[in-house]
Amino acid sequence: MNFYGFTPRTPLAKVYALRHAPHKKKIPETPLRADFETMRLPFPTDRLDVPTLLRAYRMGVFPMASDRHAPTFAWYAGMEHQGGLCRAHLPLDRLTISRSLVKTLRQKKFSVSINEDFEAVIRACADVPRRGQKGTWISETLIDGYCTLFDAGIAHCVTCRDAQGALAGGLYGVQVGGGFCGESVVSLMPDAGKVALVHLVARLWRGGFDFLETQQVTPLTGAMGGVWIDLPDYLDLLEACRDNSRANFALPGLSEAQILEPYLAFRKKCQ
């Protein structure tokens, strides 16, 4: 199935057949490997709760519906890219920020906050039409599940608002120890999604996170430095950091400016 213009993601059960394809590394010895080998889907496909979602993300899989109104969904481990099974990530120390975007950030065109109105952000991600897409993979079942995960303090969002307080854009994702799995980003106004993404990366960098996973390299993430990573390498990375209890998303006592400005200075020095 082609998910709205991007390379098809691969269902978890199909990974068994693909794990024999040439990779730099074998799939590491984790609970996930046992599920691959027996071709069992260890999760439900009609409901989501906190234990299920947390276990899935710790194992490296995520849910996705076929369309906005689908009653069920499937679990995915990655997507096929250049003959292999891959994920994607944005290196926290190598984010590409254009001069025009830096100008927008410095103009403070949007008010940026974290963990504010999570449901509004995920619903905007689900409902806003996007160029080249015929629909969305975020169903009501997924919205309910991620809102429950947010209430548990595991899912997070970055929210951008305009001068009148209206939602301008944002993103949401799931924290897995020292990793952050980005799920979706939306722009209701020009550049709002990019602003949210820069603020997210700056926060993860300052908060001691190990990586930002993005599932795939999209036009947005590709332009900002996103790269593909082989699934076995991603699972190694996930296993190494999923029990990291030092990563701090909230960063209490620091304003958005106090988090953003040091990161912008760091990136300017590196470029």
Task: Classify strands 111-114 and 74-81 as parallel, antiparallel or unpaired.
Answer: unpaired
Angle at 168 between CA 120 and CA 259, to 5 degrees: 95
Average pLDDT over residues 93-97: 95
> Is residue 20 predicted with pLDDT exceeding 60?
no
pLDDT tens track for 235-264:
999 999 999 999 999 999 999 999 999 999
pTM of the model: 0.85
What is the DSSP pairing of strand 179-187 with strand 211-213? parallel
Is 25's pLDDT higher than 50?
Answer: no
Report d(CA 13, CA 262) in Å as an integer. 44
Quote the pLDDT of residue 133. 66
Please give the pLDDT value at position 13. 35
Closest CA to 146 of 25, 33, 231, 57: 57
Which pLDDT score, from 0 to 100, does residue 3 have? 24
Q: Tell me 26's DSSP state.
A: P
Instruction: Report residue 48 as tokens.
Output: 């989501």
| Tens-place pLDDT, residues 198-229 | 999 999 999 999 999 999 999 999 999 999 99
- How would you write 184-240 as a 3-class SS string? EEEECCCCHHHHHHHHHHHHHHHCCCCEEECCCCCHHHHHCCCEEEEHHHHHHHHHH
What span, in angstroms and rounded, lies between the C-alpha atoms of 4 and 117? Answer: 27
Q: How far apart are CA 55 and CA 58, in angstroms?
A: 5
- 31, pLDDT greater than 70: no
Question: Which pLDDT belongs to residue 130?
Answer: 72
